[in-house]
Amino acid sequence: MTNSMQNKENINMQAPFVREICEITYHMWSMGWDERNGGNISCLLDKEEVAAYVDIEHVERTLPLSFPVPELRDKYFIVTGSGKYFKNIISDPKANLGIVRVNETGDQLDVLWGLRDDAVPTSELPSHFMSHIERLKVDPNHRVVMHTHATNVIAMTFVHELDEKKFTKTLWQMCTECLVVFPDGVSILPWLVPGTSEIGRQTADKMKDHRVVIWPHHGIFGTGASLDDAFGLIETVEKAAQIYMLASHQGIKQTITDQQLLDLAQAFGVTPLEGILGE
């Protein structure tokens, strides 16, 4: 067998993009964020990196897209499957993940690998694909959209005002690192029915100038140039929300001041989202 054929046989073990998603989803489940089938991930892949492991000329199935995405034509993604449990991906990636390509007209998906037993991509595919389109416009390095039910972020949406600027400021005040990690702040949608094109459009609209979108009483979307990048962003927001949930009902006696946050931004060379810190 040639090396390339061996690679194609052993994709579960060898493809770094499969291994990474296996590890990170297991980790996210261990954090308690992805109960049952909660959470979903999509990651943009280069044609060449896919072709090293999968026969890209062989289409296993095609799936119609109810929301055409011509902007993503000929793009390759690894996605989590609808109804699949993050807990189980690591032990059976081929059943729980899929490698798909958007066709030339942007209205169909070619399944190239995985999604075994007629599985389909995540129910939140509209939010993922529409967010990829917007993030790619502002960041050519963008690759990952990650959705998870981060526990303390959800809890905070019950007890904190849902004003984006006030929510962002509270998060920045909870840990010194926050302003450095997400100077662009967090955005928040109204409560909407998940899985629809409408929540996809509204999520993507926020993604024009944010990397984080919070769905109240549901979870969080984070984006980035890599799985680590998107995960690290969500982890930092979740940590701040956790501190808030631990500290707020005790009566907060002091916090990081606006001037200290401005000093921090200057020291780390980041520009805080406007209209949050008093100048």
Binding mask 110-149 for Zn ion (x = CB under 5 A): ----------------------------------------
d(CA 186, CA 189): 10
Least spacing, CB of residue 81 vs Zn ion, in Å: 14
Give the 3-state DSSP-derived string for 71-133, with helices as H, strands as E and coil as C. Answer: HHCCCEEEEEECCCCHHHHCCCHHHHEEEEEECCCCCEEEEEEECCCCCCECCCHHHHHHHHH
Cα 267 to the chain's mean position, in Å? Answer: 29
* C-beta of 70 vs 83, nearer to ligand 2HA: 83
Query: How big is the chain, counted in residues?
Result: 279
Could you say which of ligand 2HA, Zn ion, none residue 242 binds, taking C-beta under 5 to 8 angstroms by partner kind?
none
Query: What span, in angstroms and rounded, lies between the C-alpha atoms of 43 and 269?
Result: 29
Structure tokens at 242: 């956790």
122 contact, one of Zn ion, ligand 2HA, none, CB 5-8 Å limit per kind: ligand 2HA
| 171 backbone dihedrals φ, ψ, rounded to 5° | -60, -45
Q: Are 54 and 113 in contact (CB under 8 A)?
A: yes
Nearer to ligand 2HA, 195 or 232 (CB): 195
* Given the residues 48, 124, 161, 238, the one annotated as active site: 124
| Shortest distance in whole angstroms from residue 33 CB to ligand 2HA | 10
Alpha carbon of 195 to those of 159, 222, 253: distances in Å?
25, 17, 41
Cα-based torsion angle of the residue sequence 41, 45, 50, 54 in order, rounded to the nearest 10 degrees? 30
Binder of residue 232, out of Zn ion, ligand 2HA, none (CB less than 5 to 8 A by kind): none
Place of tokens 């798909």: 100
Q: At closest approach, how far in Å is the CB of 218 from Zn ion?
A: 6
Q: How many whole angstroms separate alpha carbon 3 and alpha carbon 5?
A: 5
Q: How far is the CB of 265 from ligand 2HA (least distance, A)?
A: 33
Binding site for ligand 2HA (CB under 6 A): 37-40, 122-124, 147, 194
Reply yes or no on whether 177 is catalytic.
Answer: no
Contact partner, 152, from ligand 2HA, Zn ion, none, Cβ < 5-8 Å per class: none
Residue whose CB is less far from Zn ion, 219 or 272: 219
Please, which residue, 25 or 168, has the CB nearer to ligand 2HA?
Answer: 25
In the bound state with Zn ion, the residue whose beta carbon lies nearer, of 175 and 233, is 233
Q: Which residue is nearest to ligand 2HA (CB)?
A: 194
Q: Which residues, 206 to 225, sit near Zn ion by CB under 5 A? A: 219
Minimum gap (Å) between residue 9 Cβ and ligand 2HA: 30
Number of CB atoms found within 10 A of residue 63's CB:
16
C-alpha dihedral, 77 to 124 to 219 to 75, nearest 10°: 20
> What is the smallest separation between the CB atom of 28 and ligand 2HA, expressed in angstroms?
11
In sequence order, what are the residues at sequence separation of 6 or more whose Cβ sits closer than 8 angstroms to the Cβ of residue 10? none
Question: Which residue, 38 or 68, is less far from ligand 2HA as judged by CB?
Answer: 38
- CA 70 to chain CA centroid, nearest Å: 21
Which of ligand 2HA, Zn ion, none does residue 223 bind (CB under 5 to 8 Å by kind)? none
Active site residues: 124
